[in-house]
Amino acid sequence: MGKTKDLQQQIAGKARQAIGEIIGDQDLHDDGKAQAQRGRQEQDEQDKPSELNPLKKLKQLT
């Protein structure tokens, strides 16, 4: 996914988590937490330099 989609997934997950907490729905809370975590993991994977090009981050900084 793209960075925007990952961020959307994180925000939607946090919203579901908060709504689940407010209304007392533990399943909704847990689903939202998992969704937010997936968005963070996918974003982290995109930010890591690939094994084939370990200098990718260096190129972005210069």
pTM summary value: 0.65
Confidence of residue 1 (pLDDT cuts 50, 70, 90): low
Higher-confidence position of 56 and 27: 27
CB 4 within 8 A of CB 27: no
Domain boundaries, the chain: 3-61
Contact 28, 20 (CB under 8 A): yes
**Chain segment 6-37, per-residue pLDDT in tens:** 889 999 999 999 999 999 999 999 999 999 99
